[in-house]
Structure 1
Amino acid sequence: MKLTISTWLQNLGIACSIASFFTLFFRITDFAWVTKSVYYIPVFFVVLFLLGLVIAEDVRKAFKKMFWYDKRKEQRPIWQVGIGFIFFLAQIGIVMVFSEGLTHLKLGGMPLVFVVAFMNAFILTVIYEEIFFRKERAKTSVNNSK
């Protein structure tokens, strides 16, 4: 199975989101003892992150099937939304697990962490597209000119 850097980064983001949200879920329940930390890093997070890396590829493929990614004539919009969503969720999850104090800051009633994560996800999606989608754009323009 060939994994490109693009796929690898997507899988890292998915694994990070999975681990973060499950760690957060256990932290706010009666099972908070599961999320004990070593050097401020929850052991449960590390275990779930490693398990998340194992299943991230399958999760990514399941979402592609669910949204009929391969059947779409123009795949770029759904690709951008997917990448942006991965970046957004990973940032929110990391802040919730590692810097919970930042979640109390508000901007007009909305938690500031959501605003910053949304802006970062937008910028990261544009940068990501310029790095990884440029090759696919060049291939389609070459094929169209023939």
Structure 2
Amino acid sequence: MSKVIQNCLITFIMATSVTALFYQSNINFVKVEIFHIPILFIAILVLSSFIAEDVRDSFKKVLWFEKREDKRPIWQVGIGTIFYFTQIGFVEVFARGLMPYDLGGMPMYVIIPFLNAFLLTVIFEEIFYEEKREVVKNYKFKKLK
């Protein structure tokens, strides 16, 4: 279940990134929407759903995830990054009205997803992360007389 959720979020990140990139261009057919959802977003969402697993595996190889002795820290960073960029992509494509607000020069749409990503990572970890525990051997003790 964890992999399915991660792949869906990665698919969403790729679709929102491409849509946000091309939505600001002067190409008119890119801006066509159905029920306030860009057609380009739907098309890229479908296409990126086929490669999401490969993208996730590529990042695991680049970060040497399988070779690490303690996988938990890099797992947390990866999940947190996925949650962060999902929220940023949502704001850039579907809630552009939230982009002008800032907090002392830092855009709020960058700050709030960072805080949410931290909380979501902790919740996701409690639900899905399985730590492999070493098996404790049973020892027999001699009775003292």
TM-score (norm 1): 0.90
Cα gap change, 1:10 to 1:106, in 2 (>3 Å)? same
Cα gap change, 1:145 to 1:13, in 2 (>3 Å)? same
> Aligned residue for 2:55?
59
User: Of the candidates 97, 120, 123, which is equivalent to residue 124 of structure 1?
Assistant: 120
> Aligned residue for 1:37?
33
Cα distance between partner residues in 2 of 1:132 and 1:51: 27
Report the number of matched residues. 137
**Residues 65-111 of structure 1, C-alpha deviations (whole Å, 9 max, x = no match):** 01110001111110000000000001000111001010111011111
Dislocated runs of 4+, deviation >3 Å: none
TM-score (norm 2): 0.90
Please list every run of 5 or more consecutive structure 1 residues that lacks an aligned counterpart in the other structure. Answer: none
User: Whose Rg is larger?
Assistant: 2
1:2-21 correspondence to structure 2 within 5 Å: 5-21=1-17
Cα distance between partner residues in 1 of 2:52 and 2:26: 28
Q: Residue 26 of structure 2: SS of its match in structure 1?
A: coil
RMSD: 1.1
> Aligned residue for 1:83?
79
Quote how far apart the aligned CAs of 1:43 are.
Answer: 1.0
Cα distance between partner residues in 2 of 1:117 and 1:50: 25
Could you tell me the percent identity over the aligned residues?
45
**Residues 108-137 of structure 1, C-alpha deviations (whole Å, 9 max, x = no match):** 11110111100110000000000001xx22
